[in-house]
Amino acid sequence: MPKAEKSRKKETELSEEIITKNEEISPGVFLLSVKRKHDFIPGQVVKIGIDCLEPPRIYSICCGNHEDELRILFNIKEDGYLTPKLATLIPGDRILISKPYGSFTGNSDPAFWIATGTGIAPFYSMFQSGQFENKTLIHGVRHLNQFYFEDELDWSLGKNYIRCCSQEQSCDVFPGRVTDYLNTLENFTTDQKYFLCGKALMVVEVRDLLIKKGIPYENIIAEIYF
């Protein structure tokens, strides 16, 4: 087996951890915590499973890299295998978890963070790890109660935190999808990185839009939740 493949296999081997908290922060959306055992780079992911019957699923780490606990943010897929079971777990229960890995990582340079739904997770990790200066965060959701961590983000990012809601309206919230918001902008900074995270459709639509607006392909970095 090639060396790189061997080391990736080792990184994604699962070990048992005890759940310390599993909180429903919005209807059907949970923040699950275990004790942090490994260092990670904000933006990285872990694999999570509960048994050997099904392959583990991948989740972005959703906490700062100096915190004692490691958290993930997930929403229940009613017809899914893992998430309905994860939602029933309580402190003291066990899950299987890999070491952190992945290359969707940022730094302190100015950048745009564009997310939909639980795709906010890696950006919240970067934010909580102190990488929020010179960042603009655009978060798209369907319902107003899906702006997870809204108070903290609003407090720290101010006008650089743009909320887009497609199915409900409120003051300070752009009415429509992330792509609708981006289409209202005239001048795009072309020499900064644009990080995109969420479902494939959003990532593809936003990437196409940014390319049309003149952003070089290499400045668009995507993490697709499939």
> Of 104 and 174, which CB lies nearer to ligand FAD in the complex structure?
104
Q: How far is the CB of 168 from ligand FAD (least distance, A)?
A: 21
Comparing CB distances to ligand FAD, the nearer of 111 and 120 is 120
> Which spans of this chain sit near ligand FAD (rule: CB under 6 A)?
45, 57-60, 72-75, 77, 79-83, 118, 121, 223, 225-226
> Minimum Å distance from CB 179 to ligand FAD?
21
Closer CB to ligand FAD, residue 80 or residue 176? 80
DSSP 178: H
Least Å distance, CB 159 to ligand FAD, is 26
7 Cβ contact list (under 8 Å, min separation 6): none
Eight-state DSSP code of residue 101: B
* The total number of residues written for the chain in this structure: 226
Please state, in angstroms and rounded to a whole number, the distance separating the CA atoms of residues 197 and 63. Answer: 16
Q: Residue 192: exposed, middle, or buried by beta-carbon count in 10 A (0-12, 13-18, 19+)? A: middle
CB of 223 to ligand FAD, least distance (A): 5
- Toward ligand FAD, which CB reaches closer, 83 or 174? 83
Phi, psi of 47 (to 5 degrees): -95, 140
